[in-house]
Structures are given as structure tokens and as C-alpha cells.
Amino acid sequence: MIVILLLIAIVILLILILFQLNDTHKYLKELNEDDKTKKMKKLQKFGLISNSEVFHKLKHYRDDIKYSQAEDDLQELRAKGLLTHEEYDEKLNHLYKIKQNIKDAEELKKQTGEHDIVTYPKEYEKSWLCVCGKENNYVQINCSHCKRNQDYVLSNY
Ligand SMILES: [Zn+2]
């Protein structure tokens, strides 16, 4: 009898935990929505903006928020003495480079009309970064993700 009661109690507890997780998930989802993203989704419902437009515009918008938050975080860390001035400058520079790379990739995407482009290609000592974002070993002639040719990618984009 006690065992059965215990089992029931455990089941109830599990259900409560699941509900709690679900609520947390919902809350996190809502946190990502603000007035602007909601307005855009409304326009999408009316058919005034296409799905892919919404996707790309929202991605830009959220990226901008993300990067300005990263900048704020760096400033806060410096203010609290957790980053030296040199470290702060270095990290801020790195952040600007990431932002610039995204902008450049967008430009490249527009120029080529190839929609899977997410970055400029890069050549490292033992690997190469494809425009699709996949880092491949240098012996790999074609990208393992999009099959683009290494030579072509590194010299033509
Ligand atoms: Zn690729």
C-alpha cells in the first residue's frame, strides 16, 4: 500500500515538474518577442511580408540586439575590473570583426544570389572555412556540407 502511494506521489511530482518546464519554455519564448517582432508577425499574417522576409529581418534585428548586449556586457565587465582595458579593447575589436563579417557575408549573398552563404571563406593552417559556414580539413577538396570546391571558394568569393 505504501509503495503504491509512493509511486502515485512520484508520478504527481513528475507531472508538476513537466508543467514547470513547459512554463519556463513558454516564458523564454516570450522573452524573445518584443513589440517590433510582434508587429512584423502581424504583417506576415496579412500577407504583406513573406515568410523568408520575416525570417531574415527578424534574424538581423535579433542579431543587432544580441551584439549590443554583448557590448554592454563587455563594458560592465570592464567597469567591474574583470577585464583590463587591453582585454576590453581586444574583445570589442573581435566583436566588431564578427559583426563586419556578417555584413560582408550578407553583401556576398546579395551579389552571388546564393542564399546559403553565411560567411566569407577563410584559409587556416590545417583547415578552410567554406562560405556555407562549414570548416573543413584542408585535405578535403569539396566542402562536406555544400560540396563547393575548396579552390573555387578560396579564390572566387
Ligand atoms: Zn560549404
Kindly report, residue by residue over 90-143, the tens digit of the pLDDT: 999 999 998 898 889 989 999 999 989 989 999 999 999 999 999 999 999 999
Name the domain count of the chain: 2
Secondary element (H or E) of residue 122: strand 122-123
Ligand 1 centre from 6 Cα, in Å? 55
Ligand 1 centre from 113 Cα, in Å? 15
Count of Cβ atoms closer than 10 Å to residue 44 Cβ: 16
Ligand 1 centre from 38 Cα, in Å? 33
**Residues 97 and 120 placed together within one structural domain of the fold:** no
- Give the pTM: 0.56
Ligand 1 centre from 122 Cα, in Å? 12
Residue 128 lies in a domain: yes
**Residues 56 and 90 placed together within one structural domain of the fold:** yes
**Residues 98 and 122 placed together within one structural domain of the fold:** no
**Residues 105 and 120 placed together within one structural domain of the fold:** no
DSSP secondary-structure letter at 85? Answer: H
Ligand 1 centre from 142 Cα, in Å? 8
For 26-79, the pLDDT digits (tens) are 554 554 667 777 888 888 888 898 887 887 788 778 888 888 999 999 999 999
**Residues 69 and 103 placed together within one structural domain of the fold:** yes
Domain membership of residue 148 as a residue range: 116-157
